[in-house]
Copies of this chain bind each other. A is one copy, B any other.
Amino acid sequence: MAYAGLTAERLTRAGAELADEVGFDQVTVSELARRFDVKVASLYSHLKNSRDLKTRIALLALEELADRAAEALAGRAGKDALTAFGNVYRDYAREHPGRYAAAQFRLDPEAAAASAGGRHSQMTRAILRGYDLTEPDQTHAVRLLGSVFHGFVSLELAGGFSHSAPDSAESWSRTLDALDALLRNWPTP
């Protein structure tokens, strides 16, 4: 029948769009086949299985996120960098909720090692260069930043902050203020 031009690449990109539309959990090999107007079995020449598809989408999302973060960080330092970095995460999650969920997909060690995960922690460390932290506090701070960003964005996306004043954007802004203050005045026990 018709040549559809299937490719792991194209399937991954279409899968990412599908995730943003219907949610990452609802991404299905069958639905993807439907969108390419092709029989389901045809996809298995390009994808190992359903998990393989999800892994590829996750890796795509991590790359996109890292690319955006790298661009946002260029030429910035201190609170400016902190804010830009945080906004990249938050904006990406709001623009691409399915992809953001994909970025949280539990990768197997092999895929994780090949992912952009390393870039993310490197960039977080780079932000801390604008503050006066040495190891091991730097690592603790990296983990704290990751926790706050991921936690806030997740909860906001899940609707945890809606339907109540003040606006969640306001809380976000004050959260960044708070983090900046905390990093400038990091407590040593």
Chain A interface residues (CB < 8 Å from chain B): 25, 104, 106, 136-137, 139-140, 143-144, 146-152, 154-155, 158-161, 164-166, 168, 170-171, 174-175, 177-178, 180-182, 185-187, 189
The 7 A-B pairs with the shortest beta carbon distances in the complex, nearest first, are A151-B151, A147-B151, A147-B152, A181-B187, A140-B174, A150-B151, A143-B171
- Using A151-B147, A178-B186, A187-B177 as known contacts, say yes or no to A140 and B104 having CB atoms under 8 A apart: no
B185 in contact with A144 (CB, 8 Å): no
Q: How far is the CA of A158 from the CA of B143 in the complex (A)?
A: 13
- CB pair A155 B150 closer than 8 Å: yes
Question: Which residue of A137, A147, A171, A180 has the most chain B CB atoms within 10 A of its CB atom?
Answer: A147
Residue of chain B at shortest CB distance from A175: B144
Q: How many angstroms from the CA of A136 to the CA of B165 in the assembled complex?
A: 9
The reply to whether A147 and B175 form a contact with Cβ atoms under 8 Å apart is: yes
- How many monomers of this chain does the complex have? 2
Nearest Cβ in chain B — how far from A173, in angstroms?
Answer: 8
Give chain B residues whose Cβ lies under 8 Å from the Cβ of A149: 151
Expressed in whole angstroms, the minimum distance between the Cβ of A60 and any Cβ of chain B is 18
Please name 13 pairs of A and B residues whose Cβ atoms are closer than 8 Å in the assembled complex, sorted by A. Answer: A25-B25, A106-B158, A140-B166, A140-B170, A143-B161, A143-B171, A143-B175, A146-B160, A147-B151, A148-B151, A150-B154, A174-B189, A182-B182
Query: Which B residues lie within 8 Å of A143 (CB)?
Result: 152, 155, 161, 168, 171, 175
Q: In the complex, which of the residues B155, B177, B178 contacts A146, with contact meaning CB atoms closer than 8 Å?
A: B155
B104 A166 Cβ-Cβ under 8 A: no
Q: Please, which residues of chain B bring their CB within 8 A of the CB of A151? A: 146-152, 154
